[in-house]
C-alpha cells in the first residue's frame, strides 16, 4: 500500500481488513476521537499500540465492535454480540445498547475467558463500544471481529479529532509505513465516550468511570433510576489520571468576567472566553492577548475543544486562560477533560 493517509474513495474495505489481519495498526475515525486500532485477537498487534502510544500496559483498552443488522429481534442480536466478549451480560447492557449504540458510550462488563490480559490490563473486566462513524462501522462489519482502539495520541496528550492530528502525533510511524490513517473527516462529538461500569452491579449499581456527552441524566432515564452512585476511583483507567489530555503550554481556568491586571503578567497570552471579543478588547485595550470566543453550546465546545487546545499549543503562548464552564450537568464531560488538561499542562 503506498498512501498512508487514505480517504474512503481510495481504498477497498477488503484491503483494510487485510491490513488488520496482517497484524498492522490502523487509525480509525469515530464520532468521538480518532482511535489507534488493532485486531483484538492479535496480542502482537496490540503490543504495538502500547509501544506507539508509550502507554503503560496495565491501562486497559476498549474493544470496538460492529452493531448487529437492524431489524426484529434486536435485543437478542445485541445479546449475541456482547456474549462474544462477556459470559455475564446484564439486562441493563442490552437496554443501553438499544438506546445509545452506535454512539459515544462504553460499557464495562465482566470479561469472557478468551479476552487477552493485554486488552484488560490484567483486570477481570472488558470495555465494549460500538462507534458511530459509517466507514468504521462498515469496516467492523467486514472484519467481523473486535478492534481495540485507544485514542490515537501519545500517552497523556490531547486526543485527535482529525486525521491530521493523528499524523502530527505519529508522523514518524506513518512515514515508515507502520501506521495507516483512515481519513474520515472531523469527529462530530469531539471528546471521548462516556464509560459506564456494569461489572459490579450487585455491589454498587452502574457507575460512570469517565463522563462524556452521553450524560448521567440520559443514562438514568433509560435505566429508569434517579441517580447513579459516584465513582470511588478504585478502578484503574488512564483517563482517570489527574494529568491527561494536556497541552504543553501552561493552561488555567478562570471566570473571564473576573480578570484582573495581575492575570496579564505574561507576554503573549491566549484567553478563551464565552464573552464577546469586542467587549474584552475594549475592557483590556493594552493587554498582549489573543482573544478567542467560544459559544455557550455544549455540543460545539465539545466538538472544538481538542482542536482549539492543539492550535493554541502550537502558537507558543506563554499562558492560556480558559473561561469557567457552565455548571449544568451536560457539561460534566467537558469539566472533566478541561480539569485534567489544566493539571497536566505546562510539562514538556
Nearer residue to ligand TXA within complex by CB, 29 or 68? 29
Which of 40, 82, 126, 213: binder of ligand TXA (CB under 6 A)?
Answer: 126
Residue from 86, 151, 273, 345 that binds ligand TXA (CB under 6 A)?
151
- Residue where the block lists cell 468504521: 136
**Closest separation in Å from C-beta 104 to ligand TXA:** 6
Q: Residue 341 interacts with ligand TXA (CB under 6 A)?
A: no
Output the smallest distance, CB 263 to ligand TXA, in A.
33
Q: Which of ligand TXA, Mg ion, none is residue 195 near (CB under 5 to 8 Å by kind)?
A: ligand TXA
CB 341 within 8 A of CB 158: yes
Q: Which of 106, 136, 162, 341 binds ligand TXA (CB under 6 A)?
A: 106
Q: Which residues, 190 to 249, sit near ligand TXA by CB under 6 A?
A: 192-193, 195, 209, 235, 237-240
Hunting for cell 467492523 — which residue is that? 140
Instruction: List the one residue from 123, 136, 215, 345 that touches ligand TXA (CB under 6 A).
Output: 123
Alpha-carbon span 299 to 85, nearest angstrom: 32
Which residues within the stretch 143-182 sit at the binding site for Mg ion (CB under 5 A)? 151
- What phi-psi label fits residue 336: left (phi over 0), alpha (psi between -120 and 50 degrees) or beta? alpha
The site partner of 38 among Mg ion, ligand TXA, none (C-beta below 5 to 8 Å per kind) is none
Binding residues for ligand TXA, total number by CB under 6 A: 30
Number of residues that bind Mg ion (CB under 5 A): 1
CB of 117 to ligand TXA, least distance (A): 11
Nearest to ligand TXA of 53, 319 (CB atom): 53
Instruction: Compute the least distance from the CB of residue 62 to ligand TXA, in Å.
Output: 5
Interface pick for ligand TXA out of 149, 207, 228, 271 (rule CB under 6 A): 149
User: Residues in the site for ligand TXA, rule: CB under 6 A?
Assistant: 30, 32-33, 35, 59-62, 104, 106, 108, 120, 123, 125-127, 129, 131, 149-151, 192-193, 195, 209, 235, 237-240
User: Residues in the site for Mg ion, rule: CB under 5 A?
Assistant: 151
Amino acid at each position: 500500500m503506498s498512501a498512508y493517509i487514505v480517504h474512503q474513495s481510495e481504498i477497498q474495505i477488503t484491503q483494510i481488513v487485510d491490513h488488520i489481519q496482517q497484524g498492522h495498526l490502523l487509525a480509525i475515525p469515530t464520532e468521538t476521537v480518532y482511535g489507534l486500532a488493532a485486531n483484538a485477537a492479535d496480542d502482537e498487534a496490540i503490543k504495538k499500540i502500547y509501544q506507539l502510544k508509550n502507554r503503560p500496559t496495565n491501562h486497559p483498552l476498549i474493544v470496538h465492535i460492529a452493531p448487529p443488522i437492524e431489524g426484529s429481534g434486536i435485543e437478542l442480536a445485541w445479546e449475541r454480540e456482547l456474549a462474544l466478549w462477556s459470559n455475564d451480560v446484564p439486562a441493563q447492557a442490552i437496554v443501553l445498547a438499544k438506546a445509545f449504540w452506535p454512539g459515544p458510550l462504553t460499557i464495562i462488563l465482566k470479561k469472557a475467558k478468551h479476552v487477552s490480559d493485554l486488552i484488560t490490563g490484567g483486570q477481570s473486566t472488558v470495555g465494549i463500544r460500538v462507534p458511530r462513524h459509517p466507514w468504521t462501522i462498515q469496516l467492523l462489519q467486514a472484519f467481523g471481529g473486535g478492534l481495540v482502539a485507544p485514542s490515537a495520541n501519545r500517552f497523556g496528550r490531547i486526543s485527535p479529532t482529525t486525521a491530521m492530528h493523528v499524523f502530527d502525533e505519529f508522523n514518524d510511524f506513518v512515514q515508515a509505513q507502520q501506521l495507516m490513517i483512515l481519513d474520515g473527516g472531523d469527529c462530530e462529538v469531539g471528546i471521548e465516550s462516556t464509560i459506564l461500569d456494569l461489572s459490579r452491579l450487585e455491589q454498587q449499581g452502574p457507575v460512570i468511570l469517565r463522563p462524556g456527552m452521553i450524560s448521567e441524566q440520559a443514562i438514568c432515564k433509560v435505566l429508569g433510576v434517579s441517580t447513579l452512585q459516584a465513582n470511588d476511583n478504585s478502578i484503574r483507567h488512564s483517563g482517570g489520571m489527574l494529568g491527561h489530555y494536556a497541552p504543553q503550554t501552561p493552561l488555567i481556568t478562570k471566570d473571564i468576567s473576573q480578570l484582573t491586571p495581575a492575570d496579564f503578567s505574561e507576554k503573549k497570552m491566549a484567553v478563551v472566553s464565552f464573552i464577546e471579543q469586542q467587549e474584552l478588547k475594549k475592557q483590556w485595550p493594552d493587554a498582549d492577548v489573543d482573544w478567542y470566543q467560544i459559544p455557550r453550546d455544549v455540543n460545539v465546545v465539545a466538538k472544538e475543544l481538542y482542536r482549539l487546545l492543539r492550535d493554541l499549543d502550537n502558537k507558543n503562548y506563554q499562558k492560556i486562560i480558559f473561561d469557567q464552564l457552565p455548571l449544568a450537568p451536560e457539561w460534566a464531560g467537558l469539566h472533566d477533560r478541561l480539569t485534567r488538561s489544566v493539571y497536566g499542562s505546562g510539562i514538556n
